[in-house]
Amino acid sequence: MAKIAGALVALGGLVAPSSAKTALLLIDVQDCFLESQCTSTGSAGSLSVPACGIIEKINSIQTKKACLFDEVIWSQDFHPAGHISFGSTHGLAPFAHLGGKGSLPMMCINHSSGLTHEGACCPTYHLNKTSLDCATTLCPPDGWDYAVNNSDIITDNQACVTCASNPEQCYTMYQEMWTDHCLQDGDSTFPTTLIKNASDTVVQKGWNKFVDAYSGFMD
């Protein structure tokens, strides 16, 4: 196995262009996703998962193997208040999409760039609630009116304009309902115990209120 691995490394050296660079990609290692014992504040993150063990491994790579990488790039979930992925934005509980009715229906504009900062989605319930069977499909609570209960998510939202007047220019997607998490003025920060250098690059994602973002490559 070692001989095979060595051969692959040697082959990579032969076929890789001289201009090729290496990068260490560190994805969403933030206070909002970590347990209390490793966050900057000592409180559990707003959408925490058991992941504290990753910090020691990252620090080891940063101190012992930094020479292997030309670039170190961090992605950072960086949401504004009232983000479209928050259950509270729609009067719903966090993780409401796990209740048996699926995720919340949305209509989204098509944009040629593929970049999330140019995207937008509008709740189908706002655009045409009569098209939904809320007995089987996830909807906001009975009597919910976005114009009254949360106008921020429809104001200046291009999808709510385009998909109302020209629905053929839009596509359907289904949005999971998360807790309010990784707020720009909250726990979107990086743990203070992480080794993070001034020369590292940070790519922020999820800052567009009107569309969710799971990939730093789209921002």
pTM score, whole prediction: 0.86
Distances 201 to 23, 108, 186, 215 between C-alpha atoms, Å = 11, 30, 21, 15
Flag whether pLDDT at 44 surpasses 80.
yes
pLDDT mean across residues, the chain: 90
173 CA to centre of own chain: 15
Residue 187's pLDDT band (cuts 50, 70, 90): very high
Flag whether pLDDT at 13 surpasses 50.
no
Buried b (16+ CB within 10 A) or exposed e, 70-96: eebebbbbbbbeebbbbbbbbbbebeb
Residue 12's pLDDT band (cuts 50, 70, 90): very low
Flag whether pLDDT at 197 surpasses 70.
yes
Share of the chain above pLDDT 90, in %: 83
Report phi then psi at 109, rounded to 5.
-80, 150
Flag whether pLDDT at 111 surpasses 80.
no
pLDDT value at residue 109: 95
Share of the chain above pLDDT 70, in %: 91
Flag whether pLDDT at 166 surpasses 70.
yes
Calculate mean pLDDT across residues 29-47: 97
The answer to which of 51-65, 110-124, 194-208 has the lowest mean pLDDT is 110-124
pLDDT value at residue 18: 58
pLDDT value at residue 37: 97
pLDDT value at residue 56: 97
Residue 146's pLDDT band (cuts 50, 70, 90): very high
DSSP helix, strand, coil percent of the chain (3-state; round to 5):
35, 15, 50
